[in-house]
Amino acid sequence: MLESGDLGATPLRADRHATDITKSGHRCRHRRLPALFDCSTQDTTMITPETLARPSPKETVMAFYEAFDQGALRSFCGIAAQFEARVFGATAVDWHGFLAFGEAFREGFPDGKHVFDFVIAEGDSVATIGCYRGRNTRPFMGVADTQRHVNFTVMHVDRVQDGRIVEHRGIGDINTMWSQLERPGWHDPRVAVASSAHPTAPRVGIDRRGIVMD
């Protein structure tokens, strides 16, 4: 079992076992996506596993969370056609569903960021453990903005194949999130919201079962 312990900044590597463990307090900063992962800068019809310069799984996953925090998921090139995800541990979604999920957080928390205490890469899988932080300045999943800050635990595992993410699994402490917002989080009937920028996208909300999609 991995203990959080001292959140120092020293990279710990066990190359003998092809495992890369970073204990760093890594913060996904608001910077431009590397051109390798930015579909808006290249002709995507020409991108294949053979022509794509192959980043490491860790580089791909870190760029994925950069894109999430920047609201740039639609321009992110590191996603496989067969991508599937489980968000907040319960709900299975495809890439379109995950876009709606990510955009709901971006709309509700424009300054939201992932901050990772641990980034652990082994083979084609990358685990990230840390928190999500931001201020709720816009409506979020059908609930009016509160102007309050959240800081709640998140843990993910992402699997990469041929330089692209094929699977994402994430869990987050949504009880703490709603408590910090001082809003009742377990709505029944559920709350749901469509991305205002993409009103035809799947609707995403939270109820007693966790994340739900229409």
Confidence of residue 115 (pLDDT cuts 50, 70, 90): very high
Question: What's the pLDDT score for residue 171?
Answer: 95
Read off the pTM. 0.71
- Is 190 among the domain residues? no
What CATH number does residue 141 fall under?
3.10.450.50
Decide if pLDDT at 63 tops 70.
Answer: yes
The full 3-state SS of the chain, as one line of letters, equals: CCCCCCCCCCEEEEHHHCEEEEEEEEECCCCCCCHHHEHHHCCHHHCCCCCCCCCCHHHHHHHHHHHHHHCCHHHECCEEEEEEEEECCCEEECHHHHHHHHHHHHHHCCCCEEEEEEEEEECCEEEEEEEEEEECCCCECCECCCCCEEEEEEEEEEEEECCEEEEEEEEECHHHHHHHHCCCCCCCCCCCECCCCCCCCCCEEEECCEEEEC
- Is 94 among the domain residues? yes
Share of the chain above pLDDT 70, in %: 61
Domain count, the chain: 1
Q: What is the pLDDT of residues 91-107, one digit of tens each?
A: 899 999 999 999 999 99
Question: What's the pLDDT score for residue 211?
Answer: 47
